[in-house]
Amino acid sequence: MAQTPPPSKDKKNKAATRRQYKSQKQQYYREQQRDQVVAMRKLIHDLQAERQRLSTRPKSKSLLAWKDVAVALKEYADESLIERHSLKATREKHIQLLLQLNKWIAQASMDHPQLSTSVRFTVSTR
């Protein structure tokens, strides 16, 4: 049986150099993977901190929630409606008073023609 000649020193050096290169390349790859994991964990931590900061941030006092605005507008509308009815009732009372005064003046001017004046009151009943 024939023996294969032992590898030459040159071939041994190339193989060792290649193994060393592959080892370094694999080590570099594993370091890159570890660095990515560390970076992702840091990003997760930072994002969770940002979420926490945003969720516990005090509400700005210069901005109102839409519900608060809606409630305030509803209250204002209700108050305006009440005031409108009150003003209408007051107006109706004033109209009745003017009509009574007109009748009284007309009656007085018939009873005393010398007191008659050219002043006439007209009332709009809108």
104 shares its domain with 47: no
From residue 66, alpha-carbon distances to 56, 58, 76, 80 in Å are 20, 17, 15, 21
Tell me: the pLDDT tens digits for 55-70?
887 666 667 788 889 9
73 shares its domain with 28: no
The pLDDT of residue 78 is above 80: yes
Q: Is residue 97 part of a domain?
A: yes
Q: Is residue 75 part of a domain?
A: yes
119 shares its domain with 98: yes
- Structure tokens given for 95: 């109209």
122 shares its domain with 75: yes
| Sole residue written with tokens 């009656």 | 107
Q: What does the alpha-carbon distance between residue 85 and residue 80 come to, in Å, rounded to a whole number?
A: 9
Which domain covers residue 113, as residue numbers? 65-126
Tell me: the pLDDT tens digits for 5-17?
666 778 889 999 9
Burial of 59 (0-12, 13-18, 19+ CB in 10 A): exposed
Q: For the chain, how many structural domains are there in total?
A: 2
46 shares its domain with 24: yes
pTM over 0.85: no
